[in-house]
Structure 1
Amino acid sequence: MSTSSHEAVGAPCWVSLTTADLTSAQRFYGAVMGWTFRRIRLGEWFSFAFRDGAPVAGFVENPSLPAAWTPYFAVVDADVTAARIRERGATVAVGPLSFRRGRAVLAADPDGAVFGLWQGGVFRDWGVGRGTAPAWLELRTRDAFAAAIFYGEVLDWGGESPTSCVPAYEHDHVVLRHGNNTVARISGGAVDTGPDPHVRPRWHVHFQVPDLEAAVEAATTAGGITSPVETSSAGRWATLRDPEGALFTVLAPQG
């Protein structure tokens, strides 16, 4: 079942992995996350990941791009939103491109974090924080407040539409909510110091897994790199790097 990007203005509506080898990526994520895969009508270089028959994410084979997870945000008009991005000194790298169910844009914010736009049909039951979708998204950048202003203006966060996302500044982070769900967080660094050239601002995708230790072990066995499991009052998690270098985080279920 699908609905329209008009029903989720500015909200994350999909995530996609760019990979140089679709078959190898599917093998890794199938082992670690328990996903199954199905080719889609866009061509042999595209597939969707599923869990328990429900869609999770897209996979795209493109050896010319770095392996990475990218979130896509729902927009009413891809052309208008792409123009807003350029007006604010950011980059539209690809698109808008037309597909069977809509139009897509790949862009980078002023600090270089890559994100996408989608105008068109979206999965009705796919939503960050529920079902098979990621548990949440996080932008790690240098200045959370400046980033929130950019994304807010581009994606119409806090706009007049009743379906718009609403940002709030809490404890040095910007939290983004869509309805009753917290869908993203923007975390800042030390704005009074020069940027670290080895730390690139990026969007991180956080997936919940039924067994954290099993996922970490499977990632190591399948050729990935894992960080130590971290624990806080919010839960337990580990950051993983797939064999091509794409980063993502796995979370233990809330007890």
Structure 2
Amino acid sequence: MEISTREVFGAPCWVSLMTRDLGTAQRFYRAVAGWRFRPARLGEAFSVAFLNRVPVAGIGALAADLGVAAAWTPYFAVDDADVAVDRIRERTGTIAVGPVSFESGGRAALVADPDGAVFGIWEGDVAADWRAGKGPLPAWLELRTRNALDAAMFYGAVLEWATDRPGCCAVSYEEDQVVLRQNGEPVARLNSGPVELASYSPHTRPRWHVHFRVPRLRPAIEAAVMLGGRMVSDITSNAVERWVTLRDPDGALFTLTTELGADSDEDLARPGLY
């Protein structure tokens, strides 16, 4: 079942990975996250990842000679892509591509906020049951940026967060984070931190970052390392979950998270994780 982006405007509505080797990426994420893949309506260079028959994310192939880093990118729902693009330009954001119309329906643009964090906007139909934080879908999206409050002002104006318009996403400040909520549920967090605005490293420059849930961390990490990925952070935990940030074989960064207790401390301490 699909609904219009007019009904979920301002909310994350999809995540996609652009990579140089579609087959390698599919094998990697199948082993790490348990995804299965089907061809997308956009052509042979694109596929859709499913978990338990639920569409989770898109993966597309970058041109081999395109000098763009492999990366996960979130897309946000807008009811008018042209209006959203104008708002981005007015607020010193950057338009990289689009808006582009697709034969399958819908319009999209790839853009960047004033600090250079890349994201997408989408106008058209979206899966009615796709929402960050729900079931097998991404656990949440995180913006790592220089100043979360400044970023919230930009995204709020562009995507109509926390406005008087019925159905908009709510924004709150919680534990030094800006939290975006859709129908009361947290779907994205904006975090201030040490980033390098001019950095060419995707690990240190401002960026949107995707967190995916897995049943257990250790088997997922072992599968990632075996297939050419690597850990780029220690395993971290709080009162309810553990997580670790990884880089896939093409260099795209993402985080895996699981409920606390899914892995024993002894399992996580065994040799082989690093």
Kept in 1: contact 2:197–2:206 (CA 8 A): no
Task: Indicate conservation of the 8 Å contact 1:9/1:161, yes or no.
Answer: no
Match of 1:203 in 2: 208
Deviations 1:124-151 (A, max 9, x none): 1111110221010100001111000000
The match for 2:105 is: 101
2:45 matched residue in structure 1: 45
Counterpart of 2:189 (choices 179, 185, 192) is 185
Shift of 1:195: 5.5
Deviation per CA, 1:3-36: give whole Å up to 9, x if none.
Answer: 1111111000000001011111111111111101
Distance 1:180 1:88 in 2: 28
Query: What's the % identity of the aligned pairs?
Result: 57
1:177 alignment partner AA: R
Instruction: Confirm or deny: 8 A CA contact 1:125 1:131 kept in the other structure.
Output: no
- Confirm or deny that 1:92 pairs with 2:98: no
After the TM superposition, which residues 2-41 of structure 1 pair with which residues of structure 2 at under 5 Å, given as runs?
2-41=2-41
* Residue type at the aligned position of 1:208: R
Aligned residue number for residue 77 of structure 1: 80
Native 8 Å contact 2:11 2:169 kept in 1:
yes
Give the TM-score taking structure 2 as reference length: 0.89
Q: Which runs of 5+ in 2 are unaligned?
A: 262-274
Task: State the TM-score, normalized to the length of structure 1.
Answer: 0.95
Residue 103 of structure 1 aligns with an amino acid whose one-letter code is R
Aligned to 2:224: 219
Q: C-alpha distance in 2, partners of 1:150/1:93?
A: 17
Measure the CA separation in 1 of the matches of 2:80 and 2:198: 35
Whether 1:250 aligns to 2:256 is yes
Structure 1 gap segments, 5+ residues each: none
Aligned length: 253
Equivalent residue for 2:244, pick from 217, 238, 248: 238
How do 1:38-187 and structure 2 match up within 5 A? 38-63=38-63, 64=66, 65-99=68-102, 100-187=104-191
Moved over 2 A (4+): 194-198
Aligned partner letter, 1:203: W
**Counterpart-to-counterpart distance in 1, 2:94 and 2:198:** 21
For residue 159 of structure 1, report the CA deviation from its aligned partner: 1.8
Supply the RMSD in Å over aligned alpha carbons: 1.5
Amino acid at match of 2:21: D
Describe the SS at the equivalent of 1:228.
coil
Q: Is residue 11–residue 74 contact of structure 1 (8 Å, CA) maintained in 2?
A: yes
- Amino acid aligned to 2:16: S
Q: Which amino acid aligns with 1:166?
A: A
Tell me: CA distance 1:167–1:195, structure 2 relative to 1, closer, same or farther (3 Å): same
* One-letter identity of the residue aligned with 1:39: P
Q: For the Cα contact (< 8 Å) 1:126–1:132, is it kept in 2?
A: no
Give secondary structure in 2 for the equivalent of 1:252.
Answer: strand
What is the Cα deviation at residue 62 of structure 1?
A: 1.2
Contact in 2 for aligned 1:12/1:71 (Cα 8 Å): yes
Look up the SS of the partner of 2:26 in the other structure.
helix
Post-superposition Cα deviations, 1:87-131, rounded to whole Å, max 9, x if no partner, equal 111101001011112110100100000000000000011111102
Contact 2:12 2:77 in 1 (8 A): yes
Q: How far, CA to CA, are the matches of 2:20 and 2:166 in structure 1? A: 40
Measure how far apart 1:213 and its partner are: 1.0
Write the distance in 2 (CA, Å) between the matches of 1:189 and 1:125: 32
Distance 1:145 1:78 in 2: 24
